[in-house]
Structures are given as C-alpha cells and as structure tokens.
Structure 1
Amino acid sequence: MTLIRKSFYSGIQNKTYDYHVLKASDTIEEAFVLYVQDGNDYLELGGVESTVQKLMHLNPELTEKLIIVFIHPGDSLERWHSYHRKGESFAIFTRFMVEEFIPSIEQELTVQNIYIVKRGLLGDSLGGNIILNIALQSPNIWTHLLLQSAAVSKEDIKSLSRLEKLDWSIYQTVGTFEDEFVSPITKTKLYILSRNKELYQVFLDKMARIHYSEQAEEHLWTFWNKDLPNALNFFIKTP
C-alpha cells in the first residue's frame, strides 16, 4: 500500500490543491476508484490507512483494487463556501471537480493502463452534500455514493428528485442525535437526521440500491471513524 502526495492547479479557480492518492497495490489493472472529500480529515481522523490494511487481510482480492483519491477544500470557512449550496465557491468547486480534477486523475490512470471498474464518492457532513451534487452533474458515470451524516438541504434533495431512475449503490449512515447539531459557521441547526430520512426516501423512489443505517451517535468524527470500515467494505463488495 502506498500513499503519495501531489498537487493540482485549477484553472477554473486559479488555485492549487494538494491531494493524496492511496493505492492498495502497485500492480492494479482493474480499479475501484474512490474520490474522498475532506481528504485530510479522513487521513488524520478517519483512520483510512489502518482501515484499508484491515480490509486487505479480510478481502485481499478485492481490496487490492482500491485507489482512493483524497482532496481537501481548505480551512473551515473555505470548506463551507465550497461545500454548501449557498457558499460563494459552491458552483465553481463543483465545476472544478467535474471538469478538471476527476478527468485529470482518470486520464493519468488510463496512461497507466488501469481500467476503472467502480467509481465512487465518499464524504462526511457537508462533504456528503458536495459529493451528492458532484454525482448529480454526471449521474451515469458513478456506481457508488458513500454518505456519512450528509448535511443536505431541501434544495439539494429537490435537485436529486428531478432525476430519473438512479443506477447507484448507496451507503447512507446518520446519527439519531444529529438533528441537534448546530453549524459553527451559520450558527443554525442543520437537521441532519431529518434531511437524511427525506434523502433516503428519494433514493428509494429513484430505485437506487441502498444500505441505510441510523445509529445512536452524534455529529462527530468518532462516529465516522467507527463507521468507515462498513462504508469501505460496502464499496469494495457491492456491484
């Protein structure tokens, strides 16, 4: 398993991002590619590397196909503006991911003769919101959406409802105490549990394949850290 730090210049945003690429194996021909928002947090707080190592012992033939790409939006304020629908950078960050970053990563994999079998997105809280919106831009290319306590709004749910049938495998988890979470940026409640219940119903209406779970947890990294092995296991095992 190797973790490499790289940088990417966005012409759309006139900004350079540092990002990381984790490869479970150095000899990958068919890949399960997972794009992760809040990348630094997943590496430092989420325990991604140790989780992948454990999964390699349990399912080596599947886990060795993993390529995980971690990108981070910046500090907490930059994150809000990039990930929240009302943020100043929301539209342009989504364009950057869809038009620049993801195509560049996949072009590099093509040069390495790596064929993508699964293509997924993982995000927590507002990171869950932005991955939903990234997937909505080109729904046909995605196979998996991994949502941990996604902080979605009514408007984001309406955007999803406009689509036809979804051919996605979705992992959606949320804490039963998360309606009480108050945004440190806006100082308002995000009603995360209630919104996730609404989101789940729309996914069902769109005929998506979905694993939905409510757990007695709060809006904390300890929750997502504990839940991450289940999310990654879902990604590597489900079609």
Structure 2
Amino acid sequence: MSDPQYTRRVIETHTLQSAHLGEDRTLKIYLPPGYTEHPEARYPVVYCHDGLEFFTHGRIATICNKLILEGKLNPLFIVGIEVHKQTRNDDYGPDGARHDAYTAFVAKECVPFVEGRYRVSDDPYHRFMAGISLGAAASLSLHLRYPELFRRLLLFSGAFYDTSRELVRRESFLNDLTAYMVVGRQETGVDTTAGPYDFYQANQTMRDLLRARSADVTYKESDGTHIWGFWQKEIPDALEFLQRTLA
C-alpha cells in the first residue's frame, strides 16, 4: 500500500469547540478522490470514534483511497472524531458520567458542522458510524438515542457490557438498524480496567440480541486479538460491506 497513488490523500483537520463537552475536539476528515471535480455530487460519510487512531493505527484513509481508486468502493467521506483518552470511558460508556454530553456533541455539533461544510449526504442510510471496543458500544448507543441520524454501524470487537445489553433488551424492534460486526476468536480474556473480559462471547450475545429485534446484522469472526493490527486487517471488508448496503 506504499504506492503513491494510494497514499496521496486529501485530509483536512478542524478544531471544533463543543458547548456540550465544554472543550475542543479535533476532527480529521478524509475527502474522496474527485470531490472538487464533481460539485454537484453528495457523498456517504463514516464517522469514527477513536477517530485519529482510525487514521494512524487503522490506516482507514489509505485503505479507503485504495479501494476507491481500484473501483471497489464508491467515493465517501471519513470523519475521525478525536478521543480524549483520560475521559474515554466516561465519554463512550453508555453508563459513563459524560456519555450524555458526548453523544449530544456528536449528534448536535459534529454532524451539523460536517454537513454544513462538506457535500456529505444527510440521508441516515448514507450516514455510517464506526467504533472499536468501547467505541462500538458508543456507536450502538448513538443509534438508540438518535435513530433518525444513525442507522448503519461498523462494530469492531464491541465492549458490550451489561449496560449495552440492557439498553438493547429494552427495545422491541430495531428493524431500522443495519450493523456489521467483527470480533477475534482469541478475544476471550482481554485485560480491561475492570479485569479480564470475554469480547468474543459478548459479541455473539449482542449479535443474537440485535437479530432477535429484527436488526439486519452481518456477523464475522476471524483469528485475532484485541489490537489495532487485527482491526486494520478487517477494515477493507467493513468498507466493502458499506458498498453493498449502498448498492
């Protein structure tokens, strides 16, 4: 992937002052090839929690650029939302002290900012959200809170603790949700701040809960552990899944 045609990408950076969080957050935004040459076009968009890491560790912009230039993926935007690591659990966890503020920031500040500045689609079926681990739990929570905004999720090794499961159990129907889930078979005893956790079983449980409520779930498991090296390898399949949902 070192070919210059793939690594020559347009990425813009913005600092967004959040009234809900009371702090600044950086947004890193990938613009698809041909964006400036097609002023009439509107594009799908993927919002990513742990967003800067999706660009650096996950290499999502380079992978996306390559797939677009090879004709395997239609052009789309990627928005990386900066994480503040010291408050990550409180921001992303559905029972976190700042979760209300964080989800309001994404829905009421981040999305309007991006849609007001770029020609991205405001169709909820063309607006995607991606997260790894606790970021996947945040993505699911955002769908439950703002289903009119987010109906397409990419969930990598979701940290679906009791609170996330209980939120889903309260729902009768989730037939407006389409989710792509992937987890590593070796994620059975991952060290977390709360002790070892079985992500593999947790994702199987969440898959079943979502399907029981009529969500459209594509589930994949592969050999891998709870690290960016695993998630980076899974990003191409996840992006190609988006292509199929848009076809």
Q: 2:69 aligns with which of 57, 60, 64?
A: 57
Deviates more, 1:29-38 or 1:92-101: 92-101
CA contact (8 A) 1:129 1:151 kept: yes
CA contact (8 A) 2:107 2:149 kept: no
Pairing of 1:67-78 with structure 2 (within 5 A): 67-75=77-85, 77-78=86-87
The superposition leaves residues 17-70 of structure 1 with CA deviations (integer Å, 9 ceiling, x where unpaired) of 11111111323612111100101111111011221122113326x422x01111
Taking the aligned partners of 1:85 and 1:140, their CA distance within structure 2 comes to 19
The answer as to 2:222 corresponding to 1:210 is no
**Identity, % of aligned positions:** 24
Q: CA deviation at 1:187?
A: 4.2
CA RMSD of aligned residues (A): 1.8
Q: CA deviation at 1:71?
A: 0.5
Taking the aligned partners of 1:78 and 1:170, their CA distance within structure 2 comes to 26
Structure 1's unaligned 5+ residue stretches are none
Pairing of 1:1-239 with structure 2 (within 5 A): 1-25=9-33, 26=35, 27=38, 29-59=41-71, 62-64=73-75, 66-75=76-85, 77-109=86-118, 112=119, 114-117=120-123, 118-163=126-171, 164-183=173-192, 186-239=193-246
Taking the aligned partners of 1:116 and 1:83, their CA distance within structure 2 comes to 24
Secondary structure at the aligned position of 1:182 is classed as strand
Taking the aligned partners of 1:208 and 1:58, their CA distance within structure 2 comes to 31
Taking the aligned partners of 2:108 and 2:122, their CA distance within structure 1 comes to 18
CA contact (8 A) 1:33 1:69 kept: yes
Deviates more, 1:118-127 or 1:97-106: 97-106
Secondary structure at the aligned position of 2:96 is classed as coil
Taking the aligned partners of 1:210 and 1:85, their CA distance within structure 2 comes to 21
CA contact (8 A) 2:94 2:141 kept: no
Taking the aligned partners of 1:98 and 1:69, their CA distance within structure 2 comes to 13
Corresponding residue number in structure 1 for 2:4:
none
Moved over 6 A (4+): none
Secondary structure at the aligned position of 1:35 is classed as strand
Taking the aligned partners of 1:140 and 1:115, their CA distance within structure 2 comes to 13
| Counterpart AA for 1:236 | Q
Structure 2's unaligned 5+ residue stretches are 1-8
Which TM-score applies when normalising by structure 2? Answer: 0.87
Secondary structure at the aligned position of 2:191 is classed as coil
Q: CA deviation at 1:129?
A: 0.9
Taking the aligned partners of 1:187 and 1:116, their CA distance within structure 2 comes to 38
- The aligned length equals 231
